[in-house]
Chain A
Amino acid sequence: MNDTSPSPGRPPTDTPLLEVRNLGKYFGNVIALHDVSTTVLAGHVTCVLGDNGAGKSSFIKTLSGVHPPDSGQLLIDGEEVRFASPRDALDTGIATVYQDLAVVPLMSVWRNFWLGDEPKKGFWPFRRIDIPKAKRIAKDELRKMGIDIRDTDQTVGTLSGGERQSVAIARAAYFGARVLILDEPTSALGVKQSAVVLRYIVEAARRDLGVIFITHNPLHAYPVGDRFLILNRGQSLGNFAKDEITQDELTKLMAGGAELHELQVEFAKTR
């Protein structure tokens, strides 16, 4: 997988697609996020790692316009933006694929793919979905992501977990997303399915999207990531480019990484 990912590091001439500067978010006196900074480049994958409660979901929700940030700045193409709603973020090209509510299981693949922005034909009273076109494009776009759907009429519920995530990813990519936020896409999946989703993540980056990949699994993050933001209790533990950190260090930095190491040592002694 390493060889397929784009080379790490940021070329100095490139303005980041999305930049987060000293972001802070407070719920009453609870600090959800404090002084978090990172960058997302087109064609690169930025991984956000952290254990449960580290502030990952607050981070996503702030980026996708659900919560306005309390301090710090969001910059898109070097210009500061403020989102009033998720729709705003979507219009700016930030698409979020949530882990559990990405698709409607009882609807067919093509209906899911186009949901909310269906291609239409005909004039008003008889305005209807252009079904052949919708099916064709859905099939083509999914194939570009490397998913060969047998029949776009089959319901999404019959797809595997990884394929469902990929339908959502392909959809976001097609609808002009520039930054794709993936909320724990691999957490509910088995090893093979996770590998499938990781492949789609790399595929999305190769198509020049900036990807923010949220996960608690460094094993999933390291092979695909170009930049790693590690969160713990709402604070940034560091924001590294790939050449600045190894997988072992990454694991250790994660909350629990040190504890796991201690555990290993302890077990080794007692055996």
Chain B
Amino acid sequence: MTATDATPAVSSTEPTVDERLAHRGPIQQLLLRPEIGALIGTTAVWVFFWSVADVFGTAAGTANYLDVAAILGIMAVAVSLLMIGGEFDLSAGSMTGATAMLVILLSKEAGVLGGAGLSLFLAVPLSLCFALMIGWFNGTIVEKTRLPSFIVTLGSFFMLIGAKLGFSKLFAGQVVVEGLDDAQGYGFWRNVFAASWVRNEHLWESRDVVWTVLLIAGVVLVVVGILETSYRRAPTKDATGLLVAGVGTAIALVGFIALLRTDGVGANTLFGAVTGIGVLMASLGYGRWRFPRLGKRGHLQLDRSSARLVGVGLAVIVVAVLLAAYLDASSTDNVGLLITVGFSRAMFVAGIGVAGILAVLVVAGRIPVWSPLLGILICAVPGIGYLMTRQAARSVIFVVLAVAGLVALLVASTRAAAWSAAAGLAVELLISVALIGLAFFIRSESTSEKFRSQLFTVILLIALALACSALMGYLFTIRTAPDDAADAFGRRAAIAGVFVVLLATAVKMLYTTAAENEVASGVIRYRVSILWFAIFAVFGTWLLLRAQFGNWIFAVGGNKEAARVQGVPAFRTKTTLFMMVSGAAWLSGMLIAFRLNSVQANVGDGEEFEYIIAAVVGGNLLTGGYGSAAGGAIGSLIMSMSTQGIPFAGWNTNWRFLFLGVILLLAVAGNTYVRNKAASSK
């Protein structure tokens, strides 16, 4: 093959290789981040509720859970920073209520109910000062007395509760203070803390076009990023590759536009196939242009263990399809073979368990990270939603077995890839064929429109992506040596892509079309708290990872004495952290106060544990020194999705605690496992 003459040229241009350094691909590097477990968890939780609750995936549902996430998340980000710095703040929850109450009391008319009669332009900054003072007090006491922060802030927690109850009784004669909207300057501050964006009022007819274009651009950027960091750079660029890539892109675009503009199964299948071929051409052309050919591909023959796994995987998938087809959909009480509804519920739980274990396996790197397992998980979990469409047993059996079969195939594909590139290709193509089969099975059998169209499309896209990546892995050379320039370029492209995808989502969520407005039920309102949350999360992450202060946070949490010896002002660092938490509590308090205009004395009490749970779910180490601010934000997303998703699904809201507990345990176990794995990988 031509590959044989390309090989020596490549190896001579290879930079000096540190033989101890196994090259870390982009996804492996991502897996070393503390928040990755939470990110996978968020995806799983989102997909789960998307499949069981109709409103969850829509703008209405998004506005709802983002709003809950915002107030929790602002606190979770600050608490994460404090936790990384090695401390806790149990007074953070009651602090939110205290500042909210204080601002109302300060702004009430003088003489009436003990109000100070201040303009809100004074009252709002004053309550911030109060909050910062409490934070400074917490930090100073903790540092000076060297008592555990758990105890110190427990003390301030009770003091705040007592003060809130006492003062509201004393001044208002009841445990609620109200009437913020009478205060001077209310209009201005309401815009700052409680403005909202009403989606129904923002029409944008070309929204879907913009959304589609942005989404495709973002995905392409991410894919380019992953490819550039995964493959070796070719010493000379091959222009034919560029040509093929261009033609492929054009074909894909034409096919896609035609797909959007036509109706009917026949036309859709045709143009879908055209798009798929275009994408395949584009990716292979890109590879030809940028990357050198792979030298040794080996034989198609499988080693024994991979062959056995392939057999098992295929057999299990066939059994899944046959069983699902055999078990009749209409009978929900008893579906035969001793399978009752109760049994299928148990299987349902088992299905979630399997999904969880798989997530852990992916994270642990037991299952190859570059494999599309995540995608399969995302497809598998909503199959559980089949259950909710009154086809209980068959859907559960189908999902569990299909996932098990795919996992067996995936493991087989790694083993086969280690055996030879050709064998790896064979098994990966097999997986994508199996995926396509499953997609069509779901399409023909599901009663839910959501599964018939959206899930079907997503599974097909995953199958296409898998086929492309399989062919590229077969044709081109994976990089084993570090290449800083290519890594930097790839990382930037991938990050830019993620932002473009987020932007696309925002466009879709923020704007409506006339057609959508007609069928819309009720007003969809995005509150400004979401913006505050985003700002706070970005700021916290930047501070932790880029600023000098972030380095100090890690140091005082990881080894305070070492930090002190190195000249890190530990006292100042910790006090600032406590003040950041109470500052965040002030922000939350303002968001609550200006939304409700009245505050009960018990607002926020006990919520400090939710902040801590969110921080821990987000991958922060309870003992300090390790974690991420973004993790806290993601953790709060998981929590709000679960608490809002359960009522959306029509279940009793009391289940949420069970759900939260399970998530907490899974998250901590998963995160610990990942961290140990990360620490031991040299």
Give me the interface of A with B, judged by CB distance under 8 Å: 86-87, 90, 96, 98, 101-107, 111, 114-118, 120, 127-129, 131, 148, 150-151, 154-155, 157-158
Instruction: Give the chain B neighbours of A114 by CB distance below 8 A.
Output: 551
Residue from the list B21, B548, B561 in contact with A118, Cβ < 8 A: B548
Instruction: Give the chain B neighbours of A96 by CB distance below 8 A.
Output: 565
Task: Give the nearest-CB partner of A115 in chain B.
Answer: B566
Q: A90-B567, A151-B21 are in contact. Are A104 and B546 (CB under 8 A)?
A: no
Instruction: Give the chain A neighbours of B566 by CB distance below 8 A.
Output: 115-117
- In the assembled complex, how far is the CB of residue A107 from the closest CB belonging to chain B, in whole angstroms? 5
Residue from the list A127, A128, A150 in contact with B20, Cβ < 8 A: A150
Instruction: Give the chain B neighbours of A154 by CB distance below 8 A.
Output: 682
Task: Give the nearest-CB partner of B556 in chain A.
Answer: A104
- In the assembled complex, how far is the CB of residue B482 from the closest CB belonging to chain A, in whole angstroms? 8
Q: Does B12 reach chain A (CB closer than 8 Å)? A: no
- A120 and B554 form a contact (CB under 8 A): no
Give chain A's interface secondary structure class.
Answer: loop
- In the assembled complex, how far is the CB of residue B3 from the closest CB belonging to chain A, in whole angstroms? 30
Residue from the list B548, B554, B567, B625 in contact with A127, Cβ < 8 A: B548
Task: Give the nearest-CB partner of A128 in chain B.
Answer: B546
A193 to B621, CA, bound (A): 30
Q: Does B18 reach chain A (CB closer than 8 Å)? A: yes
A114 to B567, CA, bound (A): 11
- In the assembled complex, how far is the CB of residue B558 from the closest CB belonging to chain A, in whole angstroms? 4
Residue from the list A86, A118, A148, A150 in contact with B565, Cβ < 8 A: A86
Q: Does B562 reach chain A (CB closer than 8 Å)? A: yes
Q: Does B568 reach chain A (CB closer than 8 Å)? A: yes
- B21 and A104 form a contact (CB under 8 A): no
Q: A87-B567, A104-B625, A129-B548 are in contact. Are A158 and B562 (CB under 8 A)?
A: no
A132 to B257, CA, bound (A): 44
Instruction: Give the chain A neighbours of B562 by CB distance below 8 A.
Output: 101-104, 115
- In the assembled complex, how far is the CB of residue A57 from the closest CB belonging to chain B, in whole angstroms? 14
- B558 and A104 form a contact (CB under 8 A): yes
- B548 and A107 form a contact (CB under 8 A): no
Task: Give the nearest-CB partner of A154 in chain B.
Answer: B682
Instruction: Give the chain A neighbours of B542 by CB distance below 8 A.
Output: 128
Contact bitstring B561-594, A, C-beta under 8 A = 1, else 0? 1110111100000000000000000000000000
Name, among A127, A128, A131, the residue most crowded by chain B CB atoms within 10 Å (CB to CB).
A128
- B680 and A120 form a contact (CB under 8 A): no
Q: A86-B565, A128-B546, A158-B680 are in contact. Are A115 and B18 (CB under 8 A)?
A: no
Name, among B18, B565, B568, B625, the residue most crowded by chain A CB atoms within 10 Å (CB to CB).
B565
Q: Which 9 A/B pairs are nearest by Cβ-Cβ distance? A: A116-B567, A116-B566, A104-B558, A128-B546, A104-B559, A106-B625, A101-B561, A101-B562, A106-B558
Task: Give the nearest-CB partner of B681 in chain A.
Answer: A158
Instruction: Give the chain A neighbours of B568 by CB distance below 8 A.
Output: 115-116
- In the assembled complex, how far is the CB of residue B674 from the closest CB belonging to chain A, in whole angstroms? 13
- A106 and B20 form a contact (CB under 8 A): no
A21 to B54, CA, bound (A): 83
Instruction: Give the chain B neighbours of A158 by CB distance below 8 A.
Output: 679-682
Q: A104-B625, A150-B21 are in contact. Are A129 and B563 (CB under 8 A)?
A: no
- In the assembled complex, how far is the CB of residue B618 from the closest CB belonging to chain A, in whole angstroms? 16
A87 to B567, CA, bound (A): 7
- In the assembled complex, how far is the CB of residue B298 from the closest CB belonging to chain A, in whole angstroms? 30
- In the assembled complex, how far is the CB of residue A87 from the closest CB belonging to chain B, in whole angstroms? 7
Instruction: Give the chain B neighbours of A104 by CB distance below 8 A.
Output: 554-555, 558-559, 562-563, 625
A252 to B56, CA, bound (A): 80
- B679 and A118 form a contact (CB under 8 A): no
- B555 and A115 form a contact (CB under 8 A): yes
- In the assembled complex, how far is the CB of residue A110 from the closest CB belonging to chain B, in whole angstroms? 10
Instruction: Give the chain A neighbours of B565 by CB distance below 8 A.
Output: 86, 96, 98, 101-102
Instruction: Give the chain A neighbours of B554 by CB distance below 8 A.
Output: 104, 106-107, 111
- B548 and A103 form a contact (CB under 8 A): no
